[in-house]
Chain A
Amino acid sequence: MAKREPSLFLRLLTLVSSVLLVGGLFLSVLAWYSARHAADEAYDRLLLGAAYQIADAIVIQEGKPEIELPVSAFELLGLSDRDRIFYHVLDPAGRTLTGYDSLQFPSTPRPIERATIVDARYGGEDVRLARVARRFDDPQMRGDAVVLVAQTVGARWTLAQNLTLRSLLPVGIMGIIAIGSMIFAVRRALAPIGRLETAIRNRDPLDLTLIDVTAPRELQPFVGEINHFIERLRGRVDLMQQFIADAAHQLRTPLTALNGQVDLLSNDQVSEDGRKHLDRIRVRVAQLSRLANQLLSHAMIAHREQAVATSLVDLTELTRRALGDAVPDTLERDILVTFQSSNGRLEVRGDPVNLAEAIKNLIDNAVRHGAPTAIAVRLYREANCAVIDIADDGPGIPADRWAQVSSRFGAASFDAKGSGLGLSIAAAVAAAHRGGLSFKTASDGKFVAELRFPLEGRS
């Protein structure tokens, strides 16, 4: 047994989803970084603005540096209203003017840079630290006054999170749309496989015609391969039928000769014992030629089924003729054969030869094996079907073998009287005409074989 593989649909879904997921993750990381960057940029401006304002408020009065910390700088920083603010202002000599003494710039910035911003830690929290230097060239005071302003990063994180979420929302929606349309597209794309499957599944197991389903280019090789296989199989079957027909045909000639030879052995020429044997031989030869005839007609039916165009057939006429053909003129016993047909034409579309063959086989069967005294053939209409039933007062076929004998090429029994193939032929013809062969026991105890064909022209 081949290992069970996941369905194409599942494979495609998994693959595309994983690609989308990886892409989504990548985009998320990208969005987060760019959001962090954007948030930093926005709040860094505020931080620098505040630092510049503070630096601007440094004045040298009578040779002494002084600062009146501008409230507006803090209002600016207060725009991120949940963050702590630390600041440290140093005069050009490096002495603290005001603020948090312990707030220091972590590295020595290049003197050329007036404004620098770095990430740092202060007061147990992550902060963004801005350093702005202001050059004084007063005669009494020369050098850089330095303003350090630090702010915790809460507002930046919040902004970055919001930005990320906002940019991820369309990514998420896009992902859902992508997966949805992918499911739709895959289902559409795989639909021909389903159609092909249905077409193959609904075929009659014996239908050896080629598959005629439109299939996309990718599936053409499969369809071609299946059809190729069917062709080969059909060739084999044809060959086999041909062989059977040939064999049966070949058998008939020696059998006829044998029959003639047996007939030549007239009664007088053999002893009493010998005559008994001779009679048995005669019976056996008759059975053999009947079997050969049936094989031949079976092969013919199979051939006609595929090769002969159908036509409208009037069942009443056909049945009457079949009766005439099937009931031998001379019988060892008296059998009453009746035929009763309903009014009006009952027409079916089919092959008249095969249909006649089926009816003949059934009647022949009844004559040969069943009816001690009477055979009643009825043709009537039931719903949209034409029914031919053949009742006889013989022992019939045991009910447990009904299914077996009417199966098409089923294990037809070759009992002593060689009956099975006749029923098989009838069943095969019925099936080929979308009809069926069934058996039943009538209310008066008679055994009934029933052929049923859909009527032409009615649905």
Chain B
Amino acid sequence: MDRFIFCASLAIGLGLADPGYTQTSTRFVAPKAETEKLSIHAATDLYALEPLVQDFQQISPGTTIEVVEYVTNDLFAAAAKACTEGRSLGDIYLSSSVDQLIKLANDGCARRVEGANLAQADRRANWRDEVFGFTYEPIVMVYNRNAVPSSEIPRTHIELAELLRREASRYRGKVGTYDIRISGIGYLLAFNDARQTTTTYGRLLESLGRADVVVRCCTSEILDEVSAGRLLIGYNMLGSYAYERIRRGEPLGLIMPADYTLVLSRGAMVPTNSSQIGMAARFVDYLVSPRGQSVGQAQSFFFGPDGSAPPGIDGGDIVASGIARPIVLAPALLAVQDKARRQRFLEDWTKSMIQPK
């Protein structure tokens, strides 16, 4: 293979991107003579995106693909700024924080795209032909299999709250979750938790706060620490990332909460100012196509849209048993993105979770 992957970790000064956002840029050079370039700005781990990008290059061998990685909030901020200023920033946005994509689309920053597979996409995974959901990812709890005895494994949200209260000393500083102040997906998940059950959410928040919860920007950082044993439990983790670790042999256990399991559909959109609209539409179409879906399910996201869990995961079929709570791509997500509401929610969250040092 004459392909080479150019990797660069940069904090600042990468081409068009604004300084101040943490980004990593990776180039997948076209397998054949390069005829066009596609720039994907993604809040998605590269390992998950790589199989899809490389498979897409089999179909479209003349395309060099650049993947710029962000944290969700940074991607949103950069995209919103580019949109307001009428600048071009990348050709495709991929983000697990779909409320941010809906907000961008509502503000007129998304371009309507069409494609054979897009036309068949589920209505709940397609908003205005502008934002498309292309994955099916349960939100799970993870624990360190070596350090958490099976009797203590929480099966529901309330069990987690009670465990933290009961075994307060043992779990103090040993539970990790998103810092929703910097992670859009963390905020979206917490918001949905709060909407599911007000009381459970309150108790959970209280318990997490008392247990000196550790907050991080990203699922992967918490997963690293849980598998290393520095943390025992990770809360509100993306199931796909966690399963990937288990597949690699890390000592992690995965729980799909039995009271309710949030299910996230990662979103894709093409910004208005994309310079490669045709190619971008083809990539988004590829993501929802049967081929893209099967590659994604086999190598990146593992869980199928029918609710099927990959081998080795118990918890059964969350769709059939009715505990799945999909976060639908709909205008209701605009309320999540309301700045007054967000500010209040963050204030409440911070008050409960972050103990003044």
Contacts and interface: CB of A to CB of B under 8 A. Distances in A.
Interface of A: 66-71, 73-75, 77-78, 81-86, 89, 97-99, 123-125
B106 interface: yes
B340 A78 contact: no
22 contacts: A66-B340, A66-B344, A67-B341, A68-B340, A70-B335, A71-B332, A73-B335, A74-B331, A74-B332, A75-B332, A78-B330, A78-B332, A81-B127, A81-B331, A82-B128, A85-B106, A85-B331, A86-B106, A89-B340, A98-B338, A98-B341, A124-B108
| Residue with the greatest number of chain A CB neighbours at <10 A, chosen from B105, B107, B195 | B107
Interface in B43-101: none
B338 A78 contact: no
Contacts of B339: 98
A56 to B, nearest CB: 14
Contacts of A73: 335
Interface of B is mostly: helix
B341 A77 contact: no
A84 B336 CA distance: 15
B331 A77 contact: yes
Interface in B299-357: 330-336, 338-341, 344
B32 interface: no
B105 to A, nearest CB: 8
Nearest to A80: B331
Contacts of B331: 74, 77-78, 81, 83-85
B123 interface: yes
B107 A123 contact: yes
B199 to A, nearest CB: 18
Nearest to B341: A69
Interface of B: 105-108, 123, 127-128, 195, 330-336, 338-341, 344
Contact of A85 (B123, B195, B334): B334
A329 to B, nearest CB: 112
Contacts, number: 55
Nearest to B330: A78
Given A81-B127, A81-B330, A82-B127, A71 B340 contact: no
Contact of A68 (B108, B332, B341): B341
A78 B331 CA distance: 5
Contacts of B330: 75, 78, 81
A81 to B, nearest CB: 6
Contacts of B108: 84, 123-125
Contacts of A124: 108
Nearest to A84: B106
A98 B340 CA distance: 6
A252 B336 CA distance: 129
A161 B193 CA distance: 40
B334 A74 contact: yes
Contacts of B344: 66, 68
Contacts of A75: 330, 332
Given A69-B340, A74-B332, 7 more contacts: A67-B340, A68-B341, A71-B335, A81-B331, A83-B331, A98-B339, A99-B338
B128 A69 contact: no
Given A77-B331, A123-B107, A124-B108, A69 B338 contact: yes
A84 B128 CA distance: 9
Contacts of A74: 331-335
Nearest to A122: B108
A83 B127 CA distance: 9
B335 A97 contact: no
A71 B123 CA distance: 20
| Residue with the greatest number of chain A CB neighbours at <10 A, chosen from B128, B331, B344 | B331
Contacts of A98: 338-341
B152 to A, nearest CB: 34
B103 to A, nearest CB: 10
A70 B344 CA distance: 13
Contacts of B333: 74
A73 B341 CA distance: 14
B56 to A, nearest CB: 28
Contacts of A83: 331
B269 to A, nearest CB: 14
A123 B338 CA distance: 18
A71 B195 contact: yes
Contacts of B332: 71, 74-75, 78
A78 B329 CA distance: 10
Q: Report the 3 A-B pairs with minimum CB-CB distance, sorted nearest first.
A: A98-B340, A78-B331, A69-B338
Contacts of B336: 71
A98 B341 CA distance: 8
Contacts of A85: 106, 331, 334
Contacts of B334: 74, 85
Contacts of A78: 330-332
Nearest to A124: B108
A315 B356 CA distance: 143
Contacts of A69: 335, 338, 340-341
A150 to B, nearest CB: 11
Contacts of A86: 106
Nearest to A86: B106
B76 to A, nearest CB: 17
A82 B329 CA distance: 11
| Residue with the greatest number of chain B CB neighbours at <10 A, chosen from A66, A78, A86, A123 | A78
B326 to A, nearest CB: 14
Contacts of B338: 69, 98-99
B340 A97 contact: yes
A86 B338 CA distance: 11
Contacts of A67: 340-341
| Residue with the greatest number of chain A CB neighbours at <10 A, chosen from B105, B339, B341 | B341
A66 B128 CA distance: 32
A113 to B, nearest CB: 26
A327 to B, nearest CB: 105
Contacts of B341: 67-69, 98
B119 to A, nearest CB: 14
A74 B332 CA distance: 5
A73 B123 CA distance: 20
A46 to B, nearest CB: 12
A97 B105 CA distance: 22
Contacts of A81: 123, 127, 330-331
A97 B339 CA distance: 9
| Residue with the greatest number of chain B CB neighbours at <10 A, chosen from A71, A86, A123 | A71
B176 to A, nearest CB: 28
Contacts of A66: 340, 344
Contacts of B105: 84
A82 B127 CA distance: 6
